[in-house]
Structure 1
Amino acid sequence: MEEKKGGRKGRACVVVLGDIGRSPRMQYHALSLANQASLEVDIVAYGGSEPHAALLANPSIHIHIMQQWPTSRQSLPKILQPIMLLLKPLVQIFMLLYFLCVKITSPDVFIVQNPPSVPTLVAVKWASWLRNSSFVIDWHNFGYTLLALSLGRNSHFVSLYKWFEKHYGKMADASLCVTRAMQHELAQNWGINATVLYDQPPQFFHPASLEERHKPLGVRDCASDGTSLMGSHFQNETLFTAEAGSDIYVKPNRPALVVSSTSWTPDEDFSILLEAAVMYDRRVAAILGEDDSLDEEVIWKEISDGKQCLYPRLLFVITGKGPEKEMYEAKIKRLKLKRVAFRTMWLSAEDYPLLLGSADLGVCLHTSSSGLDLPMKVVDMFGCGLPVCAVSYSCIKELVSVDKNGILFSSSSELADELLMLFKGFPDECDALKVLKNGALETGSSARWATEWEEHAKPLITKARSFSSAMLYRDFDYDSSKLTLTSIKFD
């Protein structure tokens, strides 16, 4: 986009009332605004996790970190806890207004992530009024449905939250959303016309090369027992790959690497995956006629030494942070598994694509509080050519094409059946898995974030900026003419 009148470069502000390092879609917005729209970009958000290196290295992107509200209230007397809950949105709205109206340079357009809706939409709308800026909402989900997970749909507070979300949502100058199902809901029941901007993987999500797969990724914490044999005793060897001279090769008796990314929240029932892992473990033991007394370390050592079986060992790597993580880690440690192991990890934005690009299968447990959004983690998996097993819900087929790039499941038993079907004969004779992998590669290469953003988001944001500029110059001309008339009268 061209520079504005007077030589000032156009400007946008991306607003996230959350950890910017854990908001990939808004990071991609910022990169596109800077690189594809040639704008100066301010990001106003909370800290916590490191954003992608591309954001930090971009001279046109300026990150402003707000102080986060304390999450722990256990030390407070019970009588004060409701007061603190009421104070939280008040403090947040004043902090947002300070950053949006004082701290940053006046932008042409604000782009805000929803949810959370309260107090974000209120603060950004007021700031857009005060600064003659356009107000654009990117609808990722509905805030009131997330709140209903803890308070229930019939809660008066949820109803009030929905009213605020709808009232201020309709005030936006333009809206983006993540699915056609959400677009229809917004149009029919909210009176909001939104443009669908599907999540797409950026260029740094791609299948990992042999050299990249041979690099070990740092494990922050371990959530399974009996895993001392998971590593290698040799410097030129990993659990999955080995180096002979200048050649790197994938081990034929390696375990299958299954990745699941989770926010460890109630809308992802992680117990489904744990139960499926137990079922896989027991069914394989029954098929192979193994004695229940056989020690798990014996099995892992036999296979590590070269023994191959009809069904592989499974290594589940679970990434992410969230409130229920410790509870599930404790459950994992109590499992008695012989052919399945778990790792929990927190990876940097640069290492996460390498993990996905090295894996054999992705598992998605996202169910959506509204049933109208899509899991971005699956988009990232497709970008790396990684097929998925995903929980089935209303609009998931907008993303997952069954038997082409993934499979859907509704229970732990179904997921266990799929794991047995996909990994039978692994790694060379698992034809069903290979078909899905080819489909995931095709899906991931067919569209990228930059292309999708250029086609759907850029025209909308250009139009919003033009409207903002027109309003600004109209107000300036009106004030100037009024000043001139006043001067003539007094002369």
Structure 2
Amino acid sequence: MEKRRRVAVVVLGDIGRSPRMQYHALSLAQQANLEVDIVANGGTEPHIAIKENPSIHLHKMKPVNLAGVSKISSALALVLKAAIQFVILVQFLCFKIPHPDIIIVQNPPSVPTLAAVKLSSWLRSSKFIIDWHNFGYTLLALSHGRGHIIVKIYLWFEKYFGRTANGSFCVTKAMQHELAQNWGIKATVLYDQPPEFFHPASLREKHELFGRLENNICHPDGIHDCISTVHKVEENQASCYQIDHLSSTLFSTMTDNDIFLKPNRPALVVSSTSWTPDEDFSILLEAAVMYDRRVAAALNEDDSIEEEKLWMDINDGKQYLYPRLLFIITGKGPERRKYEEHIKRLNLRRVAFRTMWLTAEDYPVLLGSADLGVSLHTSSSGLDLPMKVVDMFGCGLPVCAVSFSCIKELVKVEKNGLLFSSSSELADELLMLFKGFPEDCLALKSLRDGALATGSSSRWSTEWESHALPLINQVIEGKHRD
């Protein structure tokens, strides 16, 4: 029996937060019938499909922590960290995993990843492919500026080792053009597409998810807003009528095994973020403040009205022209705590925020249960696309996205989403889309139809088989060279 070929998938980062590389691994195992070794940092758990596939083997490296050295010299810490990561990665690729026929590596980070993979592929007579998600030097330039000597060295490193690969994927046509014209690299465009587990959620899936998230949404520690306060009123009313709390959530009610969405539910807006400088989260916060103030002005309400009384009126059958908005922000990252403190000081009456991290299994259900998605991704290079928007379309979720150079490769304005360049524009879009929610918001329903069509038109498996598999086979057989 012929021995199965092997592929190493390399991520110098948290594999659980690298969905595209997880999808590569699944496709390599399921569609190409290869043995797959994932070499990555631990941290967040990957999707259950990764853990349950017998052809995928996960090898976790320990993240390098040099906090003590950083206090003495940040430059020295960076050099030491890169050197240690280089040694660890080479050790894994050369000694701790079986011989790979091909190595597929995520870029960025470029330093020291590309050099380590190049050396390992040479020592083990393997081929290697780079999957260009973005450019590492542009991310470094966010904090140092493009003219900084460190950024210039990083650019040279990334370009030099990028040219030594046996093949390349990239995420947009704009990036493909940049690589060809200015880097001398021929890359195959492999668009991000949603896998099959991203789909619109059923009523039962929504109800069960809202039940699992009930405490995080309705009983957050130390937060009193239009969600936590109103839900307390609703719970008291339910107790008076002896309604089982488990049969009712903020958004849904189950009666005799039938599930209904509440007509007075808040509109659910989802945004996922890595809480990094290339996503200006303040735009969303400012838009939320504007929405809150403009709705108050439109309704000409008396500010002395207590919020509890305001929403008890809704339960009595009255409905406002504009709904409450609940923003659920998912993700981990360095600036999360700063923005959480900012959110606490906003004092909004019709908008609430919740920040959380969801499992890989719950995240698609949340997208499939939401009413609108928001993307704040602007791209350090201007040449990559936000994968979160792809996932949202897979769930039939329309999107409001920050406008930048190549975003129109993905978001078709007034078909599956809208673009904005300022907080004021985003506030205008929220007011327009949610007017008359939930039944009379025709513009939102039209965009949802467009998002459903976009999400169902192509899936990761078909995109991968058409564009990735041919290149991988060519590289393995030695018929392709950049």
TM-score band by shorter chain is: over 0.9
**Partner secondary structure for residue 348 of structure 2:** coil
Give the residue type in structure 1 aligned to 2:433.
L
Is contact 1:403–1:436 with CA below 8 Å preserved after alignment? yes
1:425 aligns with 2:436: yes
What is the aligned partner in structure 1 of residue 319 from structure 2? 308
Q: CA deviation at 1:304?
A: 4.6
Q: CA deviation at 1:183?
A: 0.3
**Partner secondary structure for residue 121 of structure 1:** helix
Residues 460 and 83 of structure 1: CA distance in aligned 2, closer, same or farther (over 3 Å): same
CA–CA separation in structure 1 for the residues paired with 2:172 and 2:322: 37
What is the aligned partner in structure 2 of residue 36 from structure 1? 31
1:19 aligns with 2:14: yes
What is the aligned partner in structure 2 of residue 289 from structure 1? 300
1:182 aligns with 2:186: no
What is the aligned partner in structure 2 of residue 8 from structure 1? 3
**Partner secondary structure for residue 214 of structure 1:** helix
Is contact 2:230–2:307 with CA below 8 Å preserved after alignment? no
What is the aligned partner in structure 2 of residue 101 from structure 1? 94
CA–CA separation in structure 2 for the residues paired with 1:217 and 1:387: 24
- Counterpart selection for 1:161 from 142, 145, 154: 154
Is contact 2:16–2:46 with CA below 8 Å preserved after alignment? yes
1:409 aligns with 2:420: yes
Residues 230 and 149 of structure 1: CA distance in aligned 2, closer, same or farther (over 3 Å): farther
CA–CA separation in structure 2 for the residues paired with 1:212 and 1:305: 28
What is the aligned partner in structure 1 of residue 202 from structure 2? 209
Is contact 2:39–2:59 with CA below 8 Å preserved after alignment? yes
CA–CA separation in structure 1 for the residues paired with 2:40 and 2:314: 48
1:231-310 equivalence runs, <5 A: 233=235, 234-304=245-315, 306-310=317-321
Spell out, residue by residue over 1:190-247, the C-alpha distance to the aligned partner (whole angstroms, 9 max, x if none): 0000000000000000000000011123365848433243476322111111112121
What is the aligned partner in structure 2 of residue 62 from structure 1? 57
CA–CA separation in structure 2 for the residues paired with 1:146 and 1:293: 47
CA–CA separation in structure 2 for the residues paired with 1:311 and 1:103: 58
- Counterpart selection for 2:128 from 125, 130, 135: 135
Give the residue type in structure 1 aligned to 2:101.
D
- Structure 1: give runs of 5+ residues left out of the alignment: 1-5, 471-491
Q: Say which one has the larger Rg.
A: 1
What is the aligned partner in structure 1 of residue 45 from structure 2? 50
Is contact 1:43–1:61 with CA below 8 Å preserved after alignment? yes
1:329 aligns with 2:324: no
Q: Could you say what the CA RMSD is over the residues aligned between the two structures, in angstroms?
A: 1.7
What is the aligned partner in structure 1 of residue 230 from structure 2? 229
What is the aligned partner in structure 2 of residue 148 from structure 1? 141
Residues 326 and 77 of structure 1: CA distance in aligned 2, closer, same or farther (over 3 Å): closer
Q: CA deviation at 1:405?
A: 0.1
- Structure 2: give runs of 5+ residues left out of the alignment: 236-244
CA–CA separation in structure 1 for the residues paired with 2:326 and 2:111: 40
Bigger drift between 193-202 and 230-239 goes to 230-239
Is contact 1:108–1:468 with CA below 8 Å preserved after alignment? no
CA–CA separation in structure 2 for the residues paired with 1:419 and 1:329: 22
Residues 202 and 278 of structure 1: CA distance in aligned 2, closer, same or farther (over 3 Å): same
Is contact 1:299–1:339 with CA below 8 Å preserved after alignment? no
Q: CA deviation at 1:78?
A: 4.2
CA–CA separation in structure 2 for the residues paired with 1:193 and 1:91: 31
Give the residue type in structure 1 aligned to 2:401.
A
- Counterpart selection for 1:194 from 170, 187, 198: 187
Give the residue type in structure 2 aligned to 1:246.
N
Give the residue type in structure 1 aligned to 2:16.
G
Give the residue type in structure 1 aligned to 2:230.
L
What is the aligned partner in structure 2 of residue 482 from structure 1? none
Alignment identity in percent? 68
Is contact 1:371–1:395 with CA below 8 Å preserved after alignment? yes
1:379 aligns with 2:406: no
Give the residue type in structure 2 aligned to 1:44.
V
What is the aligned partner in structure 2 of residue 400 from structure 1? 411
CA–CA separation in structure 1 for the residues paired with 2:304 and 2:461: 55
CA–CA separation in structure 2 for the residues paired with 1:303 and 1:315: 17
Is contact 2:70–2:77 with CA below 8 Å preserved after alignment? no
**Partner secondary structure for residue 63 of structure 2:** coil
Give the residue type in structure 1 aligned to 2:284.
L
Is contact 2:70–2:76 with CA below 8 Å preserved after alignment? no
Q: CA deviation at 1:288?
A: 0.6
Is contact 1:374–1:395 with CA below 8 Å preserved after alignment? yes
What is the aligned partner in structure 1 of residue 381 from structure 2? 370
1:83-94 equivalence runs, <5 A: 83-94=76-87
What is the aligned partner in structure 2 of residue 487 from structure 1? none
Q: CA deviation at 1:431?
A: 0.5
CA–CA separation in structure 2 for the residues paired with 1:469 and 1:148: 33
Is contact 2:393–2:455 with CA below 8 Å preserved after alignment? yes
Is contact 1:132–1:468 with CA below 8 Å preserved after alignment? no
